[in-house]
Structure 1
Amino acid sequence: MEPGGRRLQEQRRLQEEAAEYYRGLRVEQRLEEALNTLFPLRPADFYGELANYFSKFSKAPVICKLVGRKVLDGVGQPTLEVEVYCTVQNYEKRICSTIMSFHSQTPENALPETVEADEKERNDSVNTAVEWVNESLNTMLRDLKPIDQYKIDKMLGEYFTKKVEEKKEIQKQEEEPEATHVLTSCAPSATSLSGKKKAAKPGKKVAVAERTIPPAEPVESVLCGSLAIGGASLAIAKAGATISHSPLYLHIALLKHDQDSPKEMTLPFPMVTLLNCEKTSPAKLKLVKEVMLIPPVQLSLKQGIEKILDIQKEMMRLLEPSGKEPSPQLADSKKGKAHNTGKKAPPRALKRISHIGCLITGCDNLEQPLLLMQTACNNLGLELGKDMYLAINCAAHELMDYVEGKYEILTGTFKSPDEMVDMYVRLINEFPFIIALIDPLRKEDRQQWDNISCALGSKCYLITEEAATYISKLKIDQNINIPKCSGVVLKYINQTKVSDLIELTGLLDGQRHITILGSPDGESPDDTFVDLAVGLGARFIKLGGLSRGERVTKYNRLLAIEEELAKNRTLRKANLEFIPFAEESQPENQLSDVLPPPKQDSLPLQLSQPALRVHSL
């Protein structure tokens, strides 16, 4: 081929490549313009959105590992932490962890050897729980979806039942050879003890006490390691919320209401403990265990907490020893001593703070702590019954003297169950700003609970805490000895499962009861408990005082939830109205009899139980 022909051919080839290049460039430009029109995002954002879109079709996260470990609670005692790991898009990822609270049954005035034995039992229980989580539960729950709460809780319940049966079988084998020896050795001791009592007291008086005072029910045994069940259930609920990208309180609410997405939620009223009256100390008053403050409905939670903090500061000033009490001029002056010395006055040290985060004081009579509280509020320009309400935890079951057959409310002062009812009626009439009594009587005094319910049920909440300690038993045992009352304090402890709480609070809602979520004495720094109370729709939450980190953490979480709900306009105001008790007697020994449902037409409009409504946040 001639040189001129080759040049012409090369020129045509270059022209075709150039045309193809610009044709491709126009296509890319058009494609980019189309993508920018459809998805006005930067390339990185677009590909991120594309990845998120296709991730919806990927395999749902499943549990790949549970990790249990021994940690310390708020008072330095061992308890259980459970971590949940899930397989997310083929990668193992730590999702969350929870720390269980340990419910101690050791009396405050227990003997040193009793305390030592209980500490050993607690340590063994936590060690066993760690073993269960890391071995059996880790294997059993692997590859399950954390959002399948009810399925997982059912498996946990079956595992616990199996362990209970194994324990019973072991005890049966151990007790059979010793049964005869135990019966023979115990009988003389009982006779001897009875003889000593009769020698010390008139025989007739003891006989009357035995006929009229029902004996205390035996303490419910706790299976060693049962913390693993509650810890695993709560950790998986938290993991399910994390996987679903929703707050835990909303996740719990959706579980309770069959995934119906409500539009509003109410916050529980806080029962803030301000005073512990040292009922086991040499002080005279034994009846009052806690004096609590409840803010009114017109205040937000934040406003209520701020007022309670002001009352606490004033109470600390009033409780200062007389030799150290500042003069009124100094207390009322903004400059005070700091003005004279040129230095800022140091804050008073928090002295005598209980393990539940409240002030400790001794009192001589029942009226004294109430008048003290009234004085503190008056000094701040607050009126009890309008700007703040009181609740009293009587814990009367700790006061029964079974020899006398009466309650020792003051040192050396005894009252029969009937006299206790009369005393409470006079107390509420004299101090109408008391709107709740917790455990005013033992759970065994059922007739007196009926009497006090008829007398005070329309004036204040009558709440049982002692009788509702074991949620799983409440749920399954139709003969549980629950007295007639306004509501119950529920605690998330031991083998309690999230589904147990959901089922029981639903039952209580249906019976027009109020639910109070209560914090155990051995509290942990985990704030998951607050989300439970909000999601379950509890009327009150009982967290202790506004001191100690493990308590304050929970109040901070409650404040954060209030802020979040208010921001999303999903916060509904609660109410403090009382539901009157039916006067007619009800059959005993039924959970449905804790508070008989009032007639529908007699319910105030605001008390009818609407469906809990919340939209996704």
Structure 2
Amino acid sequence: MPNEIAHVDALEILDSRGNPTVEVEVALRNGSVGVARVPSGASTGKNEAVELRDGDPTRFGGLGVRKAVENVRTILSERVLGEDATKQAAIDALLIEADGTPGKSKLGANAILGVSMAVARAAANSVGLPLYAYLGGATARRLPIPMMNVINGGKHAGNRLAFQEFMIVPHGAPSFSEALRYGVETFRALKRELERRGLPTAVGDEGGFAPDLESDEEACELIVEAIERAGFTPGKDVAIALDPAASSFFSDGAYDLASGERLDREALLDLYARWVKTYPIVSIEDGFDEADWDGYVAQTAAIGDRIQIVGDDNYVTNPKFIAEGIRRKATNAVLIKLNQIGTVTETVAAIELARTAGWRSVVSHRSGETEDSFIADFAVAFGTGQIKTGSLSRSERIAKYNRLLWIERQLGTQALFSSPFIAGDQAD
């Protein structure tokens, strides 16, 4: 059997924060090889699949992944050797069965995902197809609108900003390559504006600037200024997306902002509504604590007909929680992160469930990334139309954008690129 898995190996490598993570290599009988590197998040939902860390304080402060690596080399390797790499769902089922826990805590979601992704890559190489075409089939040709994190706060930066991500969305561009240019030119204009105001231009975990601003709203004002200085029209050419990651600044029933304000749910809801009227915001992700379902429901009811409301920490790419969100009408979109659930097959199931509800999906990186560009192909494969993969600096972020440029080149005139946002309104 030419696609038979012949060898599985793993290595402890470093992610973009210098923390250990897992790299997996899968080799097939016919000589095809697939390599995958697993990312890691800082702002995590409590129901995410479990990253297995060694806990040895004498190595990497307990963050080593030797146990996960060994699990790949032994238990997981034994389960998949001899299997047909093109049978992704069957292999992922074997990996899940080998762990046997709901959150993949026994063997580690980092170990399991590494194998799952590497198998997909090996199979794509074996049949001579780009990963996006192998996973998505002949109709996979939609390039995603990039959501580019240009100002970092929260757990991604050492400043006072409560909101974690302030992003630009160059949705008015005619192609992905032009969208990338819009983003780069706006990012550079933002840097010049920060320098003009005497603010630092050091970057955070995801490559965005991390100035110590007086308030979260000031970040929106700066971005609008940068869009205009770059020669673009705010809203029409380049819009704003927010990821407050509100769980990180929620305590004792209230939300603490950079300005010193302490807001209850209703006051925060009003703040978002006011900002949407004031700034060209097209998407808000994790606007409330992950357990604050009433906040999400109220926000979607109030402004979900005008902007995209994205759930992340409350869904953790898990069909079980996405189904609950659909039942409650809690959001109208879901963030998709492979390492939140732990296998390629389960991630695809999450996208398919969201699609049946008429929801959008946004494929996303993690703050602790690697140079692996798997999610670029993944976004095109399943036509999600949106991707979050960081700012316009740091090579682990740029690797995904550069991969999308190659995919656009390969697709040529068959490439599709269209905005889900029209003049700030929600549109299919």
**Pair 1:73-2:15 in alignment:** yes
Letter in 1 for 2:7: K
Look up the match of 1:456: 303
Letter in 1 for 2:295: Q
Structure 1 CA distance for aligned equivalents of residues 266 and 312 of structure 2: 20
**Pair 1:309-2:247 in alignment:** no
**Pair 1:85-2:21 in alignment:** no
Q: Is the 8 A contact 2:43 2:245 kept in 1?
A: no
Q: Secondary structure at the match of 1:391?
A: strand
Instruction: Render the CA deviation track for 1:140-174: whole Å, top value 9, x for unaligned.
Output: 2111111111111111111121xx39xxxxxxxxx
Superposition deviation, residue 495 in structure 1: 5.6
Look up the match of 1:469: 316
Look up the match of 1:226: 109
Q: Is the 8 A contact 2:79 2:98 kept in 1?
A: no
Q: Is the 8 A contact 1:446 1:484 kept in 2?
A: yes
Q: Secondary structure at the match of 2:22?
A: strand
Q: Secondary structure at the match of 2:257?
A: strand
Superposition deviation, residue 317 in structure 1: 1.4
Look up the match of 1:6: none
Q: Secondary structure at the match of 1:319?
A: helix
Q: Secondary structure at the match of 2:189?
A: helix
Structure 1 CA distance for aligned equivalents of residues 33 and 155 of structure 2: 44
CA RMSD of aligned residues (A): 3.1
Look up the match of 1:542: 388
2:331 is aligned, of 485, 488, 508, to: 485
Q: Secondary structure at the match of 1:390?
A: strand
The 1:558–1:116 alpha-carbon spacing in structure 2 relative to 1, beyond 3 Å, is farther
Q: Is the 8 A contact 2:316 2:341 kept in 1?
A: no
Look up the match of 2:39: 101
Structure 2 CA distance for aligned equivalents of residues 359 and 64 of structure 1: 45
TM-score by length of 2: 0.89
Q: Secondary structure at the match of 2:63?
A: helix
Q: Is the 8 A contact 1:446 1:483 kept in 2?
A: no
Letter in 1 for 2:123: G
Superposition deviation, residue 446 in structure 1: 2.1
Instruction: Render the CA deviation track for 1:431-482: whole Å, top value 9, x for unaligned.
Output: 2x1101111111322223222112211111111111122537647x869998
Letter in 2 for 1:457: G
Look up the match of 2:274: 426
Structure 1 or 2: more helix by fraction: 1
Structure 1 CA distance for aligned equivalents of residues 62 and 351 of structure 2: 31
The 1:120–1:282 alpha-carbon spacing in structure 2 relative to 1, beyond 3 Å, is closer
1:245 is aligned, of 124, 128, 133, to: 128
Letter in 2 for 1:101: P
Q: Is the 8 A contact 2:95 2:112 kept in 1?
A: yes
**Pair 1:273-2:156 in alignment:** no
TM-score by length of 1: 0.63
Superposition deviation, residue 367 in structure 1: 3.0
Look up the match of 1:10: none
The 1:242–1:482 alpha-carbon spacing in structure 2 relative to 1, beyond 3 Å, is farther
- Unmatched 5+ stretches in structure 1: 1-58, 108-113, 166-219, 255-260, 326-349, 582-602, 608-617
- Unmatched 5+ stretches in structure 2: 46-54
**Pair 1:443-2:318 in alignment:** no
Q: Is the 8 A contact 2:214 2:259 kept in 1?
A: no
Structure 2 CA distance for aligned equivalents of residues 322 and 514 of structure 1: 38
**Pair 1:138-2:13 in alignment:** no
User: 1:485-564 alignment to 2 at 5 Å?
Assistant: 485-493=331-339, 496-564=342-410
Structure 2 CA distance for aligned equivalents of residues 556 and 450 of structure 1: 37
Q: Is the 8 A contact 1:277 1:363 kept in 2?
A: no
Q: Is the 8 A contact 2:24 2:115 kept in 1?
A: yes
Identical counterparts, % of pairs: 24
Structure 2 CA distance for aligned equivalents of residues 411 and 94 of structure 1: 55
Superposition deviation, residue 279 in structure 1: 7.2
1:379 is aligned, of 220, 229, 247, to: 229
Q: Is the 8 A contact 2:364 2:375 kept in 1?
A: no
Letter in 1 for 2:91: I
Look up the match of 1:32: none
Q: Is the 8 A contact 2:145 2:170 kept in 1?
A: yes
**Pair 1:388-2:232 in alignment:** no
Q: Is the 8 A contact 1:229 1:494 kept in 2?
A: no
Structure 1 CA distance for aligned equivalents of residues 222 and 244 of structure 2: 17
The 1:283–1:354 alpha-carbon spacing in structure 2 relative to 1, beyond 3 Å, is closer
Structure 2 CA distance for aligned equivalents of residues 365 and 105 of structure 1: 21
**Pair 1:570-2:408 in alignment:** no
Q: If you compute each CA radius of gyration, which structure gives the higher value, 1 or 2?
A: 1
